[in-house]
Amino acid sequence: MNLNIGMSIFGAIFIYVVVCVIMYFQTSHIVRYEVQEGSLAADTIYRGIVLRDETVVCAESAGYVNYYAWEGSRVAQNDLVYVVDETGRLNEELESMYLGENSLTDEELAEFRNEIVNFVHGFTPVNYDVTYDFKYSLKNTVLRLAGANMLQSIGDVNGTGAGIVNSFRAPVTGIVAYWTDGYEALSAQDVTAEILDEKEYEKKRMINNTLVESGEAVYKLSTNEDWSIVIPVDPDRGLELQEAGTVKVRFLKNQYESWGTTKLLTNADGNTYIQLTFTNSMITFISERFLDVELIVEDEKGLKIPVSSIVQKEFFLIPEEYVIPGGANGGDSIVRQCYLEDGTISSEIVEIEVYYFDSESKEYYLDSSMLASGENLYKPDSEETFTVSKRATLIGVYNMNKGYADFKQITILYENDEYAIVKPNTKYGLNVYDYIVLNAESVRDDQFINQK
């Protein structure tokens, strides 16, 4: 191999490039982030259990039950709810009788459309069982529309002597529902994680023209417009909601919104729950035991920064009376004790940078690199001294507007795993459009930063 000056230069350049590439990958790179205004919303979607004042009504005689009142309708005391055919021949007679052709009005068609739209909007494959609720709901709507003809036909059947058909009326005023699940007497204090686990949950539907025995549940009445949802929450969020007193709730099934009164619960399983009590919309969810809801809380708004940019730094705490506001260059200053060459005690004015002022304790946070523990400070126009020793930490970020890592204190309003919202327009903090170091661990205090 013949070596010449060209090969030597090429080899030197090649080695230099290799070294630069290695150093590039071994060096932590400083990435800047532009501070912007923004907001963060907490995860506020929950699934809870619905509690109502429910009274289960049992059949007084055996036979085939045919319902007249539709699910979700309000019945007064002594209103007709269902009839019982003791022989089972009612349906045969009704089918053999001419009931005439019936066409649906625009209002009746609108009811079907609303039910279909609500189902489609709230359906998820995970909760496929709600399809059966939708099916029975449509059947009940059809039953209501045919109710008047059915009553007339029942009178005609009784007149023919084809069988015995008994009518049964509501014992009290309430909203009719044709299902049971064993949770009718459940209280908010009885709710546990096991109850909220729907794997073992079973809803029993009352179906029209089925055989029932005497004493068997045939329907139930919700006797109070007040109802509630119990949702599991973490203790901190529970305390926040309890202190709020009321919270705006959006029901994901139909996007309706309502205000609920909050009550904090710690139940037998040791978990924390919030009971949301409402005074309306109970009829809308009469066929639901579990509901998905979103708590509409105010989003925290301010300056949005990455969590990776946040760092803690230690400072000396200096009483307010030992800091002179406004110096020769517009900054603050202190009077520090010093020693002359001959050993005599004297004083000097030192300009300092204030990082925060605590209005409660009346103390300034000064950079520990400017002072040393054990140093004495003089109170202006006084012989009183203060010995530097007390320390505390601040949470902040490294501002890089001036070309070096300049610590700025922040007040965090809210944060999640990725971002934090900090208070804007603070005296010693950040402003919108400031540049900060994205990864606080990649720099040191006062490190010069190449922003190219």
DSSP-H helix ranges across 56-126: 90-96, 106-122
Model pLDDT, residue 99: 47
User: Residue 76 in 3-state DSSP?
Assistant: coil
Cα separation, 295 vs 232, whole angstroms = 13
Q: How far apart are CA 6 and CA 80, in angstroms?
A: 108
Burial of 376 (0-12, 13-18, 19+ CB in 10 A): middle
Cα–Cα distances in Å, from 296 out to 124, 203, 255, 280, 417?
A: 22, 30, 12, 18, 20
Residues 6+ apart with CB under 8 A from 17: none
Q: What is the pLDDT of residue 271?
A: 93
pLDDT of residue 113: 76
Residues of the chain with pLDDT under 50: 97-99, 148, 160-162, 452
Q: How far apart are CA 314 and CA 391, in angstroms?
A: 7
Residue 260 pLDDT = 93
No. of helices (H) and no. of strands (E), the chain: 7, 31
Question: How far lies 50's CA from each of 47, 54, 253, 291, 292, in Å?
Answer: 10, 11, 14, 7, 10
pTM over cut 0.85? no
- Residue 102: CB partners within 8 Å, gap ≥ 6? 145, 146, 149
